[in-house]
Amino acid sequence: MDTLTRLTRRVEREQKARKEAEALLEKKSFELYQSNQELKSLAAELADKEERNRLLLESSSDGIYAIDREGLCSICNPAAAHMLGYESPEQVIGKNAHMLFHHSHQDGSKYPEEECVLQTGLEKEIKLNVLFWRVDGSPIDTECRAAPIKQNGEVVGSVVSFTDISERLETEMQLRQAQKLESIGQLAAGIAHEINTPTQFVNDNIHFLQEAFEDYHKLMSLYDQFLQASEETVQEDKKKEVNLLVEEIDLEYLQEEIPQAISQSIDGLKRIAKIVRAMKEFSHPGEHEKVLIDINNAIETTIDVSRNEWKYHAELETNFDSDLPQVPCLPGEFNQVILNLIVNASHAIADVVTNSGNMGKILISTQQDGDWVEITVSDTGGGVPEEIQGRIFDPFFTTKEVGKGTGQGLAITYSVVVDKHGGTIVLDSQQGVGTVFTVRLPIKVEQLEVQDNE
């Protein structure tokens, strides 16, 4: 083999190898191109997805944020930032969410992070009403949902979404206020009567006492003359004059009536004072916090202010447990509940006894049952028909004719008992026999801090 042949072969080999390499290169390039293309579309898809997620977060009118296990905010959407008074989510992200906008209780006292109810969101899904604080220090009532974020089966944080319910609470408050005003308006006429009646007889008695005093005065002056005259000169005609006057002014009648007129007047004034005091106690203006109240006493007050509503067609009896513990209540709202129940009972009875001259009966009793206080209001009215029993707590549901009530009474009663006090209210009614409403309120305040419906 000569050199040429070797070289030629080598060239051929190299040429082949090169071709192969080129072919490989081409193949690889193509593959590369292909995977690049795939990568590109994947990236685009990814970007698109992220954009969509971002849009989703940014467009949502619910506030959404997420925290990691340390409580640091990892995600925050503009709605959340905006509702909390921040200009952009960046001002929130990376910071401790609790410390930033959940730092205090309603009364302004410090809310330690380790007690934060939203912590529960790291373990399970929860829904509750929470008070947040805006950056300017103003509070915002929200309805919150929190749920754990899991990665490979491990909880890495929690996502919280919330809506501003201040407006809804405001509307609810206005509705309650309207119903309160309605029932106070209704009561006003009755209370006026409860005051006018004793005023009438106190006036009359005083008029009588005035006249009686004038008569006494006449008699006293005559006695005076009698005494001034010396023993010897006591004339028979003076004596006669006194006797005549005693008869004329009917002294016997006066002596009998005057003490009664005075004591009945005192009773009348007591009655007026009592109803005025009850009226003041009933309304509790400006009391928006739960305080410990004497349930029996509060019910008595409400009975006093509503007397004119029931006294013409019903007798009202009470059976109070005198050992009842004090119960944390919103006093004005609790009275409203009792008033609604009494007025309802009274209307139910009035419908049955109309013009018959018969009297129905309302019985109100209280008792303790473990951690609960139970109040029952029963009447001997016509009962609630079975087909509407399920609806009587619905707002605007009423069987009364138009103008005779807004249909808000029992709805608000329900909302006050259940939502505001964490209690229960049940109806037990039998047509033709009567109706019993049973209200149960928790004695311990802790039970009503959080409503947790899983």
Shortest distance in whole angstroms from residue 187 CB to other proteins: 12
Please report whether residue 205 would count as binding other proteins according to CB under 8 A: yes
Shortest distance in whole angstroms from residue 258 CB to other proteins: 9
Only one of the segments 35-43, 45-53, 78-86, 259-267 lies at the binding site for other proteins (rule: CB under 8 A); that segment is 259-267
DSSP 3-51: HHHHHHHHHHHHHHHHHHHHHHHHHHHHHHHHHHHHHHHHHHHHHHHHH
Binders of other proteins among residues 136 to 195 (CB under 8 A) are: 189, 192-195
Helices (H) and strands (E) in the chain, counts: 10, 12
Shortest distance in whole angstroms from residue 92 CB to other proteins: 57
Q: Using CB under 8 A, which of 257, 294, 300, 321 touches other proteins?
A: 257
CA distance linking residue 155 with residue 407, whole number of Å: 48
Shortest distance in whole angstroms from residue 269 CB to other proteins: 12
Shortest distance in whole angstroms from residue 172 CB to other proteins: 31
Beta bridge partners of 434: 430
Please report whether residue 264 would count as binding other proteins according to CB under 8 A: yes
Q: Rounded to the nearest 10 degrees, what angle do helices 331-353 and 166-228 cross at?
A: 80
Count of alpha carbons within 13 Å of 385, Cβ hemisphere only? Answer: 4
Q: Using CB under 8 A, which of 204, 300, 351, 428 touches other proteins?
A: 204
Q: Using CB under 8 A, which of 146, 261, 341, 375 touches other proteins?
A: 261
Residue 314 near residue 346 (C-beta atoms within 8 A): yes
Please report whether residue 313 would count as binding other proteins according to CB under 8 A: yes
Binding mask 330-369 for other proteins (x = CB under 8 A): ---------------------------x-x----------
Greatest pairwise CA separation for the chain in angstroms = 194
Token output for 195: 């005051």
Shortest distance in whole angstroms from residue 211 CB to other proteins: 6
Pick the closer one to other proteins by CB: 155 or 209.
209
CA distance linking residue 129 with residue 143, whole number of Å: 4
Q: Measured between alpha carbons, how far apart are the two ends of the chain, in Å? A: 93
CA distance linking residue 125 with residue 146, whole number of Å: 6
Q: Using CB under 8 A, which of 111, 201, 226, 320 touches other proteins?
A: 201
Strands 291-293 and 327-329: antiparallel
Pick the closer one to other proteins by CB: 127 or 311.
311
Torsion of CA 150, 153, 155, 156, to 10 degrees: -70
Binders of other proteins among residues 36 to 55 (CB under 8 A) are: none
Shortest distance in whole angstroms from residue 307 CB to other proteins: 12
Per the rule left: phi > 0, alpha: psi between -120 and 50, beta: everything else, 357 is: left
Shortest distance in whole angstroms from residue 305 CB to other proteins: 16
Only one of the segments 88-96, 107-115, 199-207, 387-395 lies at the binding site for other proteins (rule: CB under 8 A); that segment is 199-207
Rounded (5°) CA angle 362-372-292:
90
Please report whether residue 431 would count as binding other proteins according to CB under 8 A: no
Token output for 423: 């209690």
Pick the closer one to other proteins by CB: 142 or 205.
205
Only one of the segments 148-156, 230-238, 285-293, 310-318 lies at the binding site for other proteins (rule: CB under 8 A); that segment is 310-318
Please report whether residue 307 would count as binding other proteins according to CB under 8 A: no
Pick the closer one to other proteins by CB: 73 or 202.
202
Q: Report which DSSP code applies to 72.
A: B
Token output for 109: 């006292």
Only one of the segments 75-83, 114-122, 204-212, 332-340 lies at the binding site for other proteins (rule: CB under 8 A); that segment is 204-212
Site residues (CB under 8 A) for other proteins?
Answer: 189, 192-205, 207-208, 211, 253, 257, 260-261, 264, 267-268, 311-313, 357, 359
